[in-house]
Structure 1
Amino acid sequence: MALAVTSSSTAISGSSFSRSGASSESKAVQICSIRLSDRTHLSQRRYSVKSITAESHSCSESWVPRASTLTAPEVEEKDGEVEDFEQLAKKLVDASPLEIMDKALEKFGDDIAIAFSGAEDVALIEYARLTGKPFRVFSLDTGRLNPETYRLFDAVEKQYGIRIEYMFPDAVEVQALVRNKGLFSFYEDGHQECCRVRKVRPLRRALKGLKAWITGQRKDQSPGTRSEIPIVQVDPVFEGLDGGVGSLVKWNPLANVEGADVWNFLRTMDVPVNALHAQGYVSIGCEPCTRPVLPGQHEREGRWWWEDAKAKECGLHKGNIKEEDGASEDSKPAAVQEIFESNNVVTLSKGGIENLMKLENRKEAWLVVLYAPWCPFCQAMEASYIELAEKLAGKGVKVAKFRADGDQKEFAKQELQLGSFPTILIFPKSAPRAIKYPSEHRDVDSLMTFVNLLR
């Protein structure tokens, strides 16, 4: 996710330097950033050094670097002028990403930065370059990124002649988390705590030195959390340079652009991309929490795959997750179309699946998917599950579905091994307990192999 920021890693452009005479313990890494898309402008404009001051920290955070950046003259604002960003978003709804980027850089000058996470976010940097305006880039280095992501950072710096401004997690906080809970506690109790230490808090420090940031969010990235993101908005979660609610503006130039169009743009402009994309990775975050996806799976299914689909946010864009009237999304009546509708798929009630669990010698094996109809990952496997049901019809295996969200979720967690949606179980003819399908591969052939081996 960078200042003028984007998702999991964040970076600010600049060349590093250190103060002479500082002790090795207190020496702060400072990053100087030339916000120019080419060297020609450097000789034509005067720049002043401006300190990006992070929020005050406890003793444990005293080592965190401050970034200094060569900045263009600040954009002057008219006295008494208050921007209505909701109206601005409506005006820009049909604008191109290039127009939106140009507007953002024009309005905020040196007080805005691009958040760069190392995936398709390179498109943001390319659009910024095309405007001809100075720009800054920042990225969050969590310490657990893939080697391919670090290589992309280096390639991007060389391609654009910039220095990405990296923000790092607090060493003391990381040390405490790992010592107390181990390196992979997020597999057991969720990703939020680790993301808060390694991503959210470093991002908060970075944004306190800005008035606006730019992200690579798109509406089609995550139907559960990003379907309503505007082109520009007052950030609902983080504070900017002036402090307080409403002090930070968030720009999403790619909000209305589809992923396929972003990739067409990247190929056309021949810019560096993460080598992991060629291995099936689409949405790329930290190495332990990212997997490649299969054809037909949604891109966010490769992130935090062990958790519910609706929670596929690390905290950088927490404002996308909405709760109304104190109720969570899966506890409310779902205003979505039912899925897995087929004559070959049996719909089980809670009583029906409880009876199935009690049977020790079944006449037939049962394959059951625990699902939520609003879940994009359940929707993505609908066609393959129905096809599987057709192939198994009359062959000694019943195929069924059990809706496990809302009031049934706790029951499904305690009794049916539900970890995330979808969860697939097989009840063999002779085994008393259900066996959970362990793979993320939900194509027909993989599911058929699972059934044939255990029926």
Structure 2
Amino acid sequence: MAFSVASSSSSAISATNYSRSSELKALQIGSLRLLGRPAAVSLSQRRCSVKPVNAESKRNDSIVPLAAAIAESEVAEKIEVEDYEQLAKVLENSSPLEIMDKALEKFGNDIAIAFSGAEDVALIEYAKLTGRPFRVFSLDTGRLNPETYKFFDTVEDHYGIHIEYMFPDAVEVQALVRSKGLFSFYEDGHQECCRVRKVRPLRRALKGLRAWITGQREDQSPGTRSEIPVVQVDPVFEGMDSGVGSLIKWNPMANVEGQNAWNFLRAMNVPVNSLHSQGYVSIGCEPCTRPVLPGQHEREGRWWWEDARAKECGLHKGNLKHDDLAQLNGNGNGATYSNGAAGVADIFNSQTLVNLSSSGITNLLRLENRKEPWIVVLYAPWCQFCQGMENSYLELADKLAGSGVKVGKFRADGDQKEFAKQELQLGSFPTILLFPKHSSRPIKYPSEKRDVDSLMTFVSALR
């Protein structure tokens, strides 16, 4: 129905006004959704796929009245964009429950929890405690542990929800496997496989949302997650409106320590993945995940054959710094880092420890008859796994003080990395070597148990 104005002096709309009114037909309904928050929805509605903003039901031939459209446009222009950096500061000391409640209140049905099948089940518990409707999605890569699939089913039953699963494109998976085999990531890094099986499905999922909720914590990965805020504009992915800033990322547990997260799960009697009781902490795909051992950091169970610097699959690529991104753009198996990553303090500092220079380690390597045995850690100060074993190694140095065994450290990243790989058996950080008496060849510590008792057993057996 054409818009008209009736008055005593005019019986029809002017040609100019009619032309202007016709142009308003092109106005997208989605551009006006800024005026109100999405309404809460029922559980059954949450189980449906999210429609993109341009998938609104079609109008009939009538158009928005000219005066109303102009007024509404003026209101839209006055709406201020949320300052999420400021909001993060306001919420940084808030509880995960408060942060979750704010996220669900703000975005309604346009936000969803990313659930990996690990301890981020805490997110679902927090969402339930808010009393608000919520949605959960997960990425099924096709290579998860059987225990994880069973856990998904348990979580659905426990909370009375349907998890919205996203799957990789079958054609892309087929092409990857046919060209490179089932385990190509062991040779050329995990990034390509993760891109096909995880990142692209996630990208599709997020295109139907305005915000998402993750279980990232600062203490999960000191190298890549130590500065994550509780809420941020997603630096990598786009939401349903497309473009930079179209997706908001919530991290309600950013400031929660791992032990406190587990205390919460136990207190609330929340179901957990049975793999946790088998030593798994960070859980991903079956071929790329294994239990962690004493002295290891929780993320060391992921992609253990690679360098520690960029242990991200791409889902949280925005956490990585510039030099870490260079690692991801390569094959993930041997990028060279500059000596002295800016702002990273040195580790393994003790008076009972000898800091070996390049010439010092070379001389030690050339000696065929040493007066005393040495144990030396090849490390990089930015490596969270080296950081994770620092206390046990310092304790080892204290125990060996005055015993006739020298304890040393050698920084083997940057310009020293190639030398360490060729001459010192460096495979990944940390690498521990014993230089015994009367032997020209150092012995590499074969275990990943880095507690002080295991290290003492190694030294005592070979000194």
User: TM-score of the superposition, structure 2-length normalised?
Assistant: 0.77
State the match for 1:381 in structure 2. Answer: 389
Contact 1:142/1:169 (<8 A) preserved: yes
- Which secondary structure does the structure 2 equivalent of 1:351 belong to? helix
Partner residue, 1:348 = 356
2:374 is the alignment partner of 1:366: yes
Q: Compute the displacement of 1:395 (Å).
A: 5.0
Structure 2 counterpart of 1:321: 320
Contact 2:296 2:449 in 1 (8 A): no
Q: Which residue of 2 aligns with 1:437?
A: 445
8 Å contact from structure 1 (residues 93, 231) kept in 2: yes
Aligned to 1:235: 234
**Structure 2 partner of 1:57:** none
Whole-angstrom CA distance in 2 between matches of 1:111 and 1:286 = 28
In structure 1, the residue corresponding to 2:433 is in which secondary structure?
strand
Distance 2:323 2:46 in 1: 47
Contact 1:426 1:434 in 2 (8 A): yes
Measure how far apart 1:402 and its partner are: 0.2
Q: Which has the larger radius of gyration?
A: 2
Larger mean Cα displacement after TM superposition, 111-120 or 335-344: 335-344
SS in 2 for 1:113: strand
| Map of 2:56 onto structure 1 | none
Gaps of 5+ in 1: 1-33, 55-75
Question: Aligned equivalents of 1:414 and 1:167: distance in 2?
Answer: 43
1-structure distance, mates of 2:413, 2:223: 15
Where 1:202 maps in the other structure, the secondary structure is helix
What is the one-letter code of the residue matched to 2:257? E
The separation in 2 between residues aligned to 1:122 and 1:146, in whole angstroms, is 17
Moved more, 371-380 or 176-185: 176-185
- RCO greater where, 1 or 2, for CA within 8 Å and sep 6 or more? 1
**How many Å separate the matches in 2 of 1:428 and 1:49?**
65
Deviates more, 1:386-395 or 1:158-167: 386-395
- Greater displacement, 331-340 / 350-359: 331-340
Change (3 A) 1:387 1:51: closer
Q: 1:236 Cα shift?
A: 0.3
**Structure 1 CA distance, aligned partners of 2:167 and 2:413?**
37
Show the counterpart of 1:415. Answer: 423
Cα displacement string for residues 177-223 of structure 1 (whole angstroms, at most 9, x for unaligned residues): 33333333323332222211221111111111111111011112111
Q: Hey, what's the Cα distance between the residues in 1 that align with 2:264 and 2:220?
A: 17
Deviations 1:61-109 (A, max 9, x none): xxxxxxxxxxxxxxx9972322222222222223222222122122222
Pairing of 1:168-247 with structure 2 (within 5 A): 168-247=167-246
TM-superposed CA distance for 1:307, in Å, is 2.6
Aligned partner of 2:76 in structure 1 is: 79
Q: Which residue in the other structure is 1:310 paired with?
A: 309
Structure 1 residues 172 and 414, CA, compared in 2 at 3 Å: closer, same or farther?
farther
Per the alignment, residue 346 of structure 2 pairs with 338
CA distance 1:380–1:367, shift in 2 (3 Å): same
Identity %: 77
The answer as to whether partners of 2:341 and 2:382 remain within 8 angstroms in 1 is no
Kept after mapping to 2: 8 A contact 1:211/1:242: yes
Q: Which has the higher strand share?
A: 1
More helix by percentage: 2
Aligned partners of 1:187, 1:406: CA distance in 2, in Å?
23
Aligned-partner SS, 2:138: strand
Q: d(CA) in 2 for partners of 1:341 and 1:127?
A: 41
Cα separation, partners in 2 of 1:48 and 1:198, compared to 1, 3 Å: closer
Separation in structure 1 between the aligned mates of residue 47 and residue 394 of structure 2, nearest angstrom = 64
Shift in alpha-carbon separation, 1:35–1:224, aligned structure 2, 3 A: farther
Question: 1:182–1:449: structure 2 CA closer, same or farther, 3 Å change rule?
Answer: farther
> Take 2:41 and 2:409, find their aligned partners in 1: how far apart are those partners?
55
User: 1:89/1:135 Cα in 2 relative to 1: closer, same or farther (>3 Å)?
Assistant: same
Q: For the residues of structure 2 that align with 1:243 and 1:382, how far apart are their CA atoms?
A: 45
Q: Which residue of 1 aligns with 2:136?
A: 137
Q: Once the 2 structures are TM-superposed, how far is the Cα of residue 437 of structure 1 from its aligned partner?
A: 2.0
Question: 2:62 corresponds to which residue?
Answer: none
Mapped partners of 1:201, 1:247: distance in 2 = 17
TM-score by length of 1: 0.78
Compared with structure 1, are the counterparts of its residues 220 and 125 closer, same or farther at alpha carbon in structure 2 (3 Å cutoff)?
same
Any stretches of 5+ residues in structure 2 without a counterpart?
Answer: 1-39, 54-71, 328-336
Q: Residue 173 of structure 2 contacts residue 197 of structure 2 at CA under 8 Å; is this kept in 1? A: yes
Structure 1 position 357, deviation (Å): 2.5
Asked whether the equivalents of residues 295 and 449 of structure 2 are also in contact (C-alpha less than 8 Å), the reply is no
1:424 corresponds in structure 2 to 432
Offset of 1:266 from its aligned partner? 1.3
Report the Cα distance in structure 2 between the residues aligned to 1:117 and 1:342, rounded to whole angstroms: 40
Q: Which amino acid counterpart does residue 85 of structure 2 have in structure 1?
A: E
SS at match of 1:309: coil
Farther off after superposition, 261-270 or 429-438: 429-438
* Cα distance between partner residues in 2 of 1:125 and 1:298: 25
Deviation at 1:255?
Answer: 1.4
The amino acid across from 1:196 in the alignment is R
Bigger mean CA offset, 422-431 vs 153-162: 422-431
Q: Is the CA contact (8 Å cut-off) linking 2:295 and 2:392 kept in structure 1?
A: no
Aligned match of 2:105: 106
Task: State the AA in 2 paired with 1:236.
Answer: P
Secondary structure of 2:232's counterpart equals: strand
**How far 1:272 sits from its partner (Å)?**
0.7
The alpha carbon displacement at 1:325 in A equals 12
> In structure 2, what is the Cα distance between the partners aligned to 1:240 and 1:128?
21
Correspondence for 2:5: none
* Deviation of 1:326 (Å): 10
Identify if the C-alpha distance between structure 1 residues 115 and 437 changes in structure 2 by more than 3 Å, giving closer, same or farther: same
